[in-house]
Amino acid sequence: MSKNNNDEPIVKIRGLRFAHGARVIFDGVDIDIPRGKITSIMGPSGTGKTTLLKLIGGQLQPTAGSVVVDGEDVNKISRDALFRLRKRMSLLFQTGALFTDLTVFENVAFPLREHTRLPESILRDLVLMKLQAVGLRGARDLLPAELSGGMARRVALARAIALDPMMIMYDEPFTGQDPITVGVIMQLIRMLNDTLGLTSIIVSHDVHELTMICDHMYMISGGKVMGHGTPDDMAHSESGWVRQFMAGLPDGPVPFHYPAPDYADDLLAGA
């Protein structure tokens, strides 16, 4: 049961620092993920967006700062408490990560078999309900190799909601999908979030799609939060970093040219 009321962020990150060796990924980051909303984490490639999801799930430990999920500091609670908390969070992998030797039905049933002792008749009804929600009840007997990429994502989403989580984290859900499939996935994310009372966190760099479905957006770059707010706030931001990313400009705070000596001097040096 939640330890906070609905006005409290479901994820509260304060003073987050994290580094891989000498490379600093996050340097004093503060982020609030509002409960019941869809929040996106945007930024250029290599800025640590997926790493942030792992920090929220407790798979990685920060160098400093805190990550509090539904009132629990994921780095201070016991191992058992962390496992209980993780059961209430789902992660939709970029690849879908379906079990190749299991049918669609058994892929969705897997977390129910692992974490519950439901009678087979009830388990069957639950799996069919989840598949119906993503439009794939008729594909229940297919193997992953028989699915299109978009169908595999939808099966993975049905599996992600099998245990009725409080929060789903999506890692690049639109990557590699055709426009129709992207539209379907966007509709499912919005519909499931609102119908099931979820909180959704989307890591992506697909600006157009995110502005259409997100309630709140964060942009991170260089280990810092460069901007956050509603899609309209971000579209009218005065930050050069945010403007460059949202508009897809080739030059700006993220420079087109890799640091180099003066061009004329460089040419003359070879003369």
Give me the pLDDT at residue 253, please: 65
Helices 149-160 and 179-196: angle between axes, nearest 10 degrees: 10
Distance CA 230, CA 214 (A): 8
Which token pair is 207? 């600006």
DSSP, res 258: P
Instruction: Note whether 31 and 11 are within 8 A (CB).
Output: yes
Give me the pLDDT at residue 6, please: 67
Distance CA 209, CA 229 (A): 16
Give me the pLDDT at residue 255, please: 65
Residue type, 133: A
- Name the residue among 167, 159, 189, 194 with its Cα closest to residue 177: 189
pTM attached to this predicted model? 0.84
Give me the pLDDT at residue 252, please: 67
Phi, psi of 86 (to 5 degrees): -65, -30
Give me the pLDDT at residue 243, please: 80
Print pLDDT tens along the chain (271 aa).
445 566 789 999 999 999 988 888 999 999 999 999 999 998 877 788 889 999 999 999 999 999 999 999 999 999 999 988 988 999 887 666 889 999 999 999 999 998 889 999 999 999 999 999 999 999 999 999 999 888 998 999 999 999 999 999 998 888 878 888 888 889 889 998 999 899 999 998 888 888 899 999 999 988 899 899 999 998 888 887 788 777 777 766 666 566 778 777 777 776 6
Distance CA 232, CA 226 (A): 16
